[in-house]
Amino acid sequence: MQTLPAKTYTSSPEDGFVRTHFIRFIRFGFYPVSLVLTLTFIYLSTQKLLGNPKQAYAVYLLVLIGSMLFLEWYMPARRDWSMTWRSFLHRDVPMMLVNGVALAGTNFCLTALTQWLGTGAGSTHWLPWWGEACAAILISDFLWYWVHRYSHEGQGRFGQWLWKTHVAHHLPRQVYVFMHVVGHPINGAYVRAILLLPPVFLGFSTEAIFAAATLTGLQGLVSHFNVDVRAGYLNYIFMGTELHRYHHGAALNEGKNYGAVITIWDQLFGSFDYRPDTVPEALGVHEPQAYPESDKVLQVMLIPFK
């Protein structure tokens, strides 16, 4: 298959002075500002300076997601990748409900398992909470990197089965904030386990686990952001919009960048794909005719069992 040419972002000559400079600020400033604000929120939360932690986190998510939804409406990277009422009601909401139940069940089982095994009893906390958070991200992202990569590239029955549980997330031909929830609950369950079990079994502090989970959540949202935001040199540390968007490319030479939070493992193992100023020509899977449409939720749920 020939390499598809990527479309370069351009500005409209009809944009006024204010809009032009606002778009430029969002393009180069949204990600670093969001990252700094998230790290600040993590610090203030771990120091018990924000009152009720659940309420503070709810406000943080509301502000973050609300601003991202507004920007996707105001200045989408590609109009044809935008959320529609059909995609939201027929695919995103059902997927959100199914995966919400699956994640709640997974959390319950993981909590029961860790209590039964008595994990973390031997922890000495020889690192500060922020050091443990960094270690949690490094370890969990390393495990997810290889599971994710094998689900795309693995051969044999196990590799094929992993792909069948993961392909639901790649069926949409759009990418936007709420598309983050699209996926199979089996995939969501083992992703949750991979991200949570290592820090829990190592006995990391609750502050470290909270910090790692919050930063992971930010990366999950910005990775599926349908706005032209640039991270610059931060792309060599974090897996953001520019990199993960190519992971959703439909062409065979795309679909790399397997990390969830950081890009270190992709760089070390040769799957780092950074193409500044460009976007994929098309999103989705290479052979869409082999799969049901992404809004046929029941048929998508049955893919791993066929």
Over residues 49-73, mean pLDDT:
93
For residue 279, the SS3 value is: strand
Tell whether the model's pLDDT for residue 249 goes beyond 80. yes
Tell me if 107 is assigned to some domain: yes
Tell me if 223 is assigned to some domain: yes
Which tens digit of pLDDT belongs to each residue from 107-116? 888 777 766 6
Over residues 121-139, mean pLDDT:
82
* Percent of the chain clearing pLDDT 70 (strictly above): 91
On the CB side of 25, CA atoms within 13 Å amount to 8
Domain assignment of residue 300, given as a range: 14-305
Query: What is the model's pLDDT at position 200?
Result: 83
Alpha-carbon span 165 to 159, nearest angstrom: 10
* Percent of the chain clearing pLDDT 90 (strictly above): 69
Over residues 240-266, mean pLDDT:
91
Which pair of structure tokens corresponds to residue 212? 């790692």
Tell me if 4 is assigned to some domain: no
Secondary structure (H, E, C), 205-269: CHHHHHHHHHHHHHHHHHHCCCECCCCHHHHHCECCHHHHHHHCECCCCCCCCCCCCECHHHHHC
Tell me if 30 is assigned to some domain: yes
Alpha-carbon span 146 to 154, nearest angstrom: 10
Q: How many domains does the chain have?
A: 1
Which pair of structure tokens corresponds to residue 95? 């997927």
Query: What is the model's pLDDT at position 12?
Result: 59
Query: What is the model's pLDDT at position 2?
Result: 35
Tell whether the model's pLDDT for residue 305 goes beyond 60. yes
* DSSP structural state of residue 283: B
Alpha-carbon span 268 to 27, nearest angstrom: 28
* DSSP structural state of residue 173: S
Alpha-carbon span 166 to 17, nearest angstrom: 44
Tell me if 5 is assigned to some domain: no
Tell me if 132 is assigned to some domain: yes
Tell me if 3 is assigned to some domain: no
Residue 188 and residue 106 in contact, taking contact as beta carbons nearer than 8 Å: yes
Query: What is the model's pLDDT at position 103?
Result: 85
Query: What is the model's pLDDT at position 267?
Result: 97
- Return the closest-CA partner of residue 192 out of 71, 78, 68, 104: 104
